[in-house]
Amino acid sequence: MMHIIPSLLNKEQVRQAREALDHAAWADGQLSAGHQAVKAKHNQQLDQSDPLGQQLGDFILEQLGANPLFMATALPLKVFPPRFNRYQGGGHYQTHIDSAVLSVAGTPHRVRGDISATLFLCEPEEYDGGELIIDDTYGQHSVKLAAGDMVLYPGSSLHQVAPVTRGARLASFFWIQSMVRQDVQRGILLNLDQAIQDLTSKLPDDATLAQLTGVYHNLLRQWSNT
């Protein structure tokens, strides 16, 4: 299921990131594409070893760890270091599916891509096109969010980026290996967590809270693969 995480970055944080990326050394995105993706990928990307990308990626990881909605939705075990791309002048990415397992460059670590993430760094009115189009079991979704907002969707989903015909589309993208592998189970846990939070705010002394919290943790204990 697709989920929106609003305002992961505030407007000032977006401004600072944009200012830095305006002076970045962008490279052809096909250089980092796999055998199948090289024909479908038409964008620019920061090299994984670029110090700017590493600095901004570390900052995004900090914001993720401090965001309760992201933590409750993704139940992250590992997060692949955020990358950055730019689409302009007709740049696009044809329909594809992300790799199931991703190797972290320069380390022996691998991340299973249970969840794909795109963090938008431009306002929708700054560019034409550039929608992230996701096909999942619930149909097709066209996503174009405000700067600082992030979308999460199953890594198993077919998706594409529509051609950018005016302006430029900047974004950060990465993958999450969740403690709970199955999307349906993560959805159940998120709904239960939100119900517990709602009940806590309305009836903080209700004895049912302890029972519901116990159900949540016992399901997480059963379903987690940590």
pLDDT digits (tens, 9 = 90+) for 37-84: 667 899 999 998 899 999 999 999 999 999 999 999 999 999 999 999
Which two tokens mark 135? 């096909």
Q: Who has greater pLDDT, 136 or 85?
A: 85
Residue 65 neighbours by CB under 8 Å, 6+ apart: 71
96 in a known ligand binding site: yes
Delineate the domains of the chain, giving CATH numbers in brackets.
3-178 (2.60.120.620), 183-223 (4.10.860)
CA 203 – CA 215 distance, rounded (Å):
18
217 in a known ligand binding site: no
Say if pTM beats, i.e. exceeds, 0.85. Answer: yes
86 — pLDDT class (breaks 50, 70, 90): very high
**Mean pLDDT across the chain, nearest whole number?**
95
159 in a known ligand binding site: yes
98 in a known ligand binding site: yes
CA 128 – CA 18 distance, rounded (Å):
18
